[in-house]
Amino acid sequence: MRIIQLFYGNLYDDGVGNTVQTIDRQLKSMGYDAEILNSWITPDMLTNRYFAPDDVILYQYSVRMDPLLQYVNCKKVLVFHNITYPELLYGFNIDNLRMDCECGLYELDSTKNLFPKAIVFSEFSKNTLISHGWKEENIFSLSIMIKADLFKDTPDKNVIEKYKGKSTNILFTGRIFPNKKQEDIIRAFHVYKNKYNKNSKLFLVGPVKCDDYSDYLKNLTHKLGLDDDVIFSGFVSWSEYLAYYKAADLFLCMSAHEGFCIPLLESMFMQVPILAINETAIPYTLGDGGLILENREPAYVADMMNKVLSDNELKNDMINKGNLRFRYLTEEAGDKKWEDALNTILLEISKEKNLFNPVPESVLWKHKEKQTDIPDFLSSRSSKKIILYGFGAKGQELLRNDGNRLNIVAICDKNINTVNTANIPDNIDLLNIKDSVSKYPEACYIITVQNRAALVQIAANIINCGVNSSDIFIYESDERRIFRSEDHTSELQSRS
């Protein structure tokens, strides 16, 4: 029996991806044959019987359903992260995602007929499933784990020296995306700064996931005269991420949709008092580990900010309660709780009949992917050694579809210890950047990461290890093309 986490998205710098990796480690520590499949199901997987009847799919559901999952004859468990409200995504040129979320919410009604059991991470998500016809006894509630040891790493000294103790610092961590409602944070900060504390700064720490929304936030910041006081960090290293927490005096969350909200746990662990809006999963995760905001009115939020920041006794009490809440959630997310829950789920579904539909002939088409547009420099020199940077969904896609046309000798990733090696052929090495440069000094690099800000930083890191910029290429999945990074430097930087 294999336990396969079926997931399509970013395994790194993403709440869902981090949870997938955590579950994978937990399953392997329990002795299960576990793997992560970062891909949509293809017709070939159905015809080649990639899935065995006694396999278990843990389907990570955060946007919409894989259309072919209903035809897979195996055991299935829904892992429900909740789905962003589509109405939050209007007006920012992300209509494809908005429509996917619309479909995902519509498809929720049918999940009870495909999955005997479900895992959720908040009372909010549990109630969402119940409202779509699920029976409460089939839903298992677990807390998401964070790797506390990582938060004991050394924070970046430059960020600390630049900001800590120099001003009153407000922090929010999370991707720049409409559901996070960073505009409400900016408006409340504007009132707080003008009314209560001129010497204050706002840190919005996280990668840009929506260019139009990022532009909107920056225009709002400029209009309010906050250009020097609102810091958009973009993609940051782990040590920089920790440093912003160390420099923070208050964590302010105004997100309009969360399935759990991991940064609340991070703030508790890092001893930062929390103010957070009373919406979706936030009050369930926060508990009494911070103060709840009952509305988004900037004057009210600013007044609450000042109430906390001007009262050391209150602030210390919030930090202490945050410690207790973190300890409770950590115990709820402990290995024993997860092990007991997973064993119970696997035992119960082993007794259930597999839920699947017969595969219609129309699905079993022999499809041909559009071939990737590979530069002559790479395709005409098959002996040229190539190293892929990034082995998430897009890296696996490139290897699967075009590996026979490229002489791929190694794979690099941000953290090679968490890479799913099941889909890497034995003749391909898994290396960090420095080791790859040492072993293959003449190789070219293809970066498969799709986030522009991240790939600019990755390219810089590769160059810093001694690779010529002319030997670095970018894989653009949507356009199915590979291009030389230095030929598009201005485009990449303008979009990062």
Report pLDDT digits (tens) over 114-139: 999 999 999 999 999 999 999 999 99
Q: Give the chain's mean pLDDT.
A: 88
**CA dist., res. 291 & res. 416, Å (int):** 39
Q: How confident is the model at residue 494 (pLDDT cuts 50, 70, 90)?
A: very low
Q: What is the 3-state secondary structure (H, E, C) of 266-326?
A: HHHHCCCCEEEECCCCHHHHHCCCCEEECCCCHHHHHHHHHHHHCCHHHHHHHHHHHHHHH
Chain segment 308-327, per-residue pLDDT in tens: 999 999 999 999 999 999 98
User: Which burial class, exposed, middle or buried, applies to 415 when counting CB atoms under 10 A from its CB (0-12, 13-18, 19+)?
Assistant: exposed
Cβ pair 112, 131 in contact under 8 A: no
Residue 337 pLDDT exceeds 90: no
3-state DSSP assignment of residue 25: helix
Give the number of other CB atoms < 10 A from CB of residue 381: 12
Q: How confident is the model at residue 221 (pLDDT cuts 50, 70, 90)?
A: very high
**Taking Cα atoms as reference points, which of 303, 302, 278 lies closest to residue 291?**
278
Q: How confident is the model at residue 450 (pLDDT cuts 50, 70, 90)?
A: confident
Cβ pair 100, 64 in contact under 8 A: yes
Edge-to-edge, what's the strand order for the sheet holding 168-173? Answer: 230-234, 200-205, 168-173, 250-253, 274-277, 291-293
Residue 107 pLDDT exceeds 70: yes
Tell me which of 343 and 334 has the higher pLDDT.
343
Question: How high is the pLDDT of residue 88?
Answer: 93
Residue 363 pLDDT exceeds 90: no
Residue 270 pLDDT exceeds 80: yes
In eight-state DSSP terms, residue 149 is: G
**CA dist., res. 262 & res. 361, Å (int):** 43
Residue whose tokens read 């064993």 = 343
**CA dist., res. 226 & res. 222, Å (int):** 6
Question: How high is the pLDDT of residue 475?
Answer: 87
Residue 488 pLDDT exceeds 70: no
Residue 75 pLDDT exceeds 90: yes
Residue 147 pLDDT exceeds 80: no
Edge-to-edge, what's the strand order for the sheet holding 481-484? Answer: 429-430, 408-412, 386-389, 444-447, 472-476, 481-484
Question: How high is the pLDDT of residue 108?
Answer: 94
In percent, the amount of the chain with pLDDT more than 90 equals: 58
Question: How high is the pLDDT of residue 130?
Answer: 97
**CA dist., res. 333 & res. 234, Å (int):** 30
Q: How many helices (H) and strands (E) in the chain?
A: 18, 18
Tell me which of 359 and 323 has the higher pLDDT.
323
Using CA atoms, how far residue 373 sits from 199, 355, 401, in Å, is: 52, 40, 12
- Exposure string of 91-117, with b = 16+ CB inside 10 Å and e = fewer, is ebebeebbebbbbbbebbeebbebbbb
Question: What are 108's two structure tokens?
Answer: 């929720």
Lowest mean pLDDT across 69-73, 303-307, 393-397, 435-439: 393-397
